[in-house]
Amino acid sequence: MMSFDLSHAKIAVIGSGTMGIGIAQLAIINGHATILYDLDREKAQQEVDGLHQTFAKLVEKGRITHEQVQQACSRLSIANGIDDLADVDLVIEAVVEKLEVKQALFQQLASICSEQTVFATNTSSISVTAIAAGIPQPERVVGLHFFNPAPVMKLVEIVQGLKTPVALCQALKALMLVWKKIPVLTKSTPGFIVNRIARPFYAEAFRALQEQVTSYDQLDYALKQCGGFAMGPCELTDLIGQDVNFSVTQSVYEAFFYEPRYRPSLVQKELVDAGAWGRKSKQGFYHYDARNQYSTFQPQALSTTPFQAQIQVKGTWSQLPELFTRLALNSGTEHEQNIIQIDDIDLRFSQGESAHLNYLSRKTVLMDWHHDFAQAQAVVLSHNPLCQADDLAKVEAFFAQYQIHVIWIKDHPALLTLRTIVLLINEACEASLHGIATMEDIDNAMRYGVNYPKGPYQWMMQLGAAYVLQTLNNLYAIYGEEKYRASLYLKQYVAKQQSLALDDSKDLTACA
């Protein structure tokens, strides 16, 4: 049984690209003697020179002292050859994302380093189990996936291969905490946590575009304003690179044996085929000027039509108390459906229904979710064919009273934000079903790895698991596609909650 204490580890970082030099920076700042190795020693020297410039800027900003920089730089050396790594305790490789390259590297190191040396791979997509195969002492191979830029991004995914002991993962977790990172533990599975669970954020957005529900800039605005995301999916993939994001989606899709939930988008493939890769090509979804500036969506002006209509509230609207405070409405009495009636128009909070298919006899407007109705600047709505122009104007005037813009889109079950969030929740539940990571680690991974405003399970608690399940069931009923099938984990969670509520009800009855 190998024991692991990495608190004072001598570290080798292999690869002097942006990620490699960032990891080396973290190591030396946190007190580790570190050796940087690259096949191109001149490139490694250039990157170290660049690191000195980075440190100089940090000193100017007061984030680090000159003395701390001197001490850190004294810990860093450049290897003349791979044999210089013989006495290190921890190797962190950040080389090209190819299985055969990583395997060959670790096999070579296994003949040079001690049997106790830990081999950590910074891979973002390759199976750690596959990398470890064929390497002596495969139990010392582990994933240590930093996010770019490594010195800035808080999240680190610690990836357990089939033969990686929990003790090694815990030792790396302790080390990352000392480095002031937020480590999450995950099993070696395609995409690990972040690149797996994030797929619906892109997939559902591109599907809305393919179905011509909305425009790319309107979509981005909705996900930012209503969802609370830092960037919309079209902006974000333009920043990442459409080719890069498409490639990751393809690899996850193939690694899961063509599971429909991860199927790539024809909308994105069209951009990739055209060389419209985003900012780096000056054209993706958006067109970019020399300073990478681009035009974004702005909602139309608020309606100036005086609002004159009768309002009646049905149901308790328990999911949206902030909305009722904002609209100065009192929730209605217990009712099987939540409806705000504006004259003869039914305004409903979407639960995955289709305005066109599910409401045939009454004028119906479906409303998307908003992460903060108290501060909402806009709301996304769709309507069925019974609504005429004067009905839509009436709804716009209703929201305009409260300085809320209305964004109309075509009928789209669960609309934009709610649909994205319930699919993210469902993907998190699938990861939990397969024992990939804990709820807490999944939430932390998505908050700190891709800067989501909340983790999937935090959203689930806010919306209510039963509400999420019903929304997914409605989507599945409409589309009949496996990608909208509710996770067994979610179904079991809701059943357990309902069972506990029933037990509590029986206890209260018995007490009475």
Three-state SS sequence of 119-165: EEECCCCCCHHHHHCCCCCHHHEEEEEECCCCCCCCEEEEEECCCCC
Fold (CATH) for 195-213+216-294+415-511: N-(1-d-carboxylethyl)-l-norvaline Dehydrogenase; domain 2 (1.10.1040)
- Using the 8-state DSSP alphabet, how is residue 230 labeled? S
Q: Is 124 a catalytic residue?
A: yes
Q: Is 195 a catalytic residue?
A: yes
Bridge-partner residues for 348, per DSSP? 366
Q: Is 245 a catalytic residue?
A: no
Per-residue pLDDT tens digits for 41-90: 999 999 999 999 999 999 999 999 999 999 999 999 999 999 999 999 99
Which listed residue (157, 204, 396, 427) is catalytic? Answer: 157
Distance between CA atoms of residues 271 and 237, nearest Å: 11
Every domain of the chain and the residues it spans: 11-188, 195-213+216-294+415-511, 311-408
Cβ atoms < 10 Å from Cβ of 433 = 14
Region at 328 (left for phi over 0; alpha for psi -120 to 50; beta for the rest): left
Considering the domain 311-408, what is its CATH architecture? 2-Layer Sandwich (3.30)
Residues 6+ apart with CB under 8 A from 403: 302, 377
Amino acid at 226: C
Q: Is 74 a catalytic residue?
A: no
Strand pairing class (90-93; 155-160): unpaired
Distance between CA atoms of residues 295 and 316, nearest Å: 40
pLDDT of residue 1: 52
Q: 11-188, superfamily in CATH? A: NAD(P)-binding Rossmann-like Domain (3.40.50.720)
pLDDT of residue 318: 81
Given CA atoms 371, 372, 377, 382 in this order, what sign does their dihedral have? positive
Distance between CA atoms of residues 144 and 185, nearest Å: 10
Domains 11-188 and 311-408 are alike in CATH topology? no
Which listed residue (145, 370, 371, 405) is catalytic? Answer: 145
Residues of the chain with pLDDT below 50 are: none
pLDDT of residue 340: 95
Cβ atoms < 10 Å from Cβ of 301 = 8
pTM, two decimal places:
0.95
Distance between CA atoms of residues 503 and 509, nearest Å: 10
Per-residue pLDDT tens digits for 19-43: 999 999 999 999 999 999 999 999 9
pLDDT of residue 4: 85
Which listed residue (47, 93, 122, 124) is catalytic? Answer: 124
The distance in angstroms from the start CA to the end CA of the chain is 58
Which listed residue (16, 122, 127, 195) is catalytic? Answer: 195
pLDDT of residue 273: 98
